[in-house]
Chain A
């Protein structure tokens, strides 16, 4: 039983790490701020969720698990709020979302960001 739980939590931690790393990879790779938010979203939702689930299995039925659960719930409430605040602030300051046909119109911004 112990070994089984260890394996399950190991798999969850590995999957969580996978999504966290590639969410961060997206954060570096995607062309503009609005697209990068989707990359950060991967880290915030599934990455953190799987990771904390793995830790919760290790914690067993203790207060540690309850606290981890609270952290997870807080992530799921706070992450969309700060995403919206960020996107709305960027939009109101005149940031233009990158699209395929906006490439020539604001070349100065893409010159630094679309290096991938």
Chain B
């Protein structure tokens, strides 16, 4: 019962984040909304694990948290530099050999 209520609350929050992702107006708003949506997805997976009585869902939640972070950074890098191959940040201080 408690977990079902928490799931419902997460669904509402996810809908709000999705609304922002659809409204935009800039691409960064969308990335922010999708990142926030991913955070809520992680929590949702965790609470679903308790709801279904399957504790192995926590591994999936942990993995999703990692993917969400890397995905956000990758998308930002793509929008900033136009391709994924260039080194970001400071110009190759350690690179080379």
Q: Which residues of A contact B (CB under 8 A)?
A: 6, 9-10, 13-14, 16-18, 20-21, 23-25, 27-28, 33, 36-37, 40, 43-44, 48, 51-52, 54-55, 58-59, 62-64, 67-68, 70-71, 74-75, 78-79, 81-82, 85-86, 89-90, 92-93, 95, 109, 112-113
| Chain B interface size range | 35 or more
Residues from chain B with a CB closer than 8 A to the CB of A6 are 2
Interface CB pairs A-B, < 8 A, 11: A13-B2, A13-B6, A17-B13, A55-B50, A70-B62, A71-B61, A78-B65, A86-B32, A89-B80, A90-B26, A109-B26
Give the CA-CA distance A24 to B13 in the complex, in Å: 5
B42 in contact with A71 (CB, 8 Å): yes
Instruction: Decide: A48 and B39 in contact? CB cutoff 8 A.
Output: yes
Contact (Cβ within 8 A) A24 B73 = no
B interface residues with partner A (beta carbon < 8 Å): 2-3, 5-6, 9-10, 12-14, 16-17, 19-20, 23-26, 28-29, 31-33, 35-36, 39-40, 42-43, 46-47, 49-50, 55, 58-59, 61-62, 65-66, 69, 72-73, 76, 79-80
A109 closest partner in B (C-beta) = B25
Please give the distance in Å from A85's CB to the nearest CB on chain B.
5
- Tell me, in angstroms, the Cα distance from A52 to B69 when the chains sit together: 18
Name the B residues within 8 Å of A85 (CB-CB). Answer: 72-73, 76
Contact B19–A55 (Cβ < 8 Å)? no
> Which residue of A is nearest B46, CB measured?
A55
| Further pairs besides A24-B17, A78-B69: 17, Cβ < 8 Å | A14-B6, A21-B12, A23-B13, A27-B16, A28-B19, A28-B23, A36-B20, A36-B32, A37-B32, A54-B6, A55-B46, A62-B55, A64-B49, A68-B58, A89-B76, A90-B28, A113-B23
- 3 closest Cβ contacts across the A-B interface? A17-B9, A24-B16, A24-B13
Which residues of B sit under 8 angstroms from A112, Cβ to Cβ?
23-25
- Chain B nearest CB from A12 CB (Å) reads 10
Chain B residues near A13 (CB, 8 Å)? 2-3, 5-6
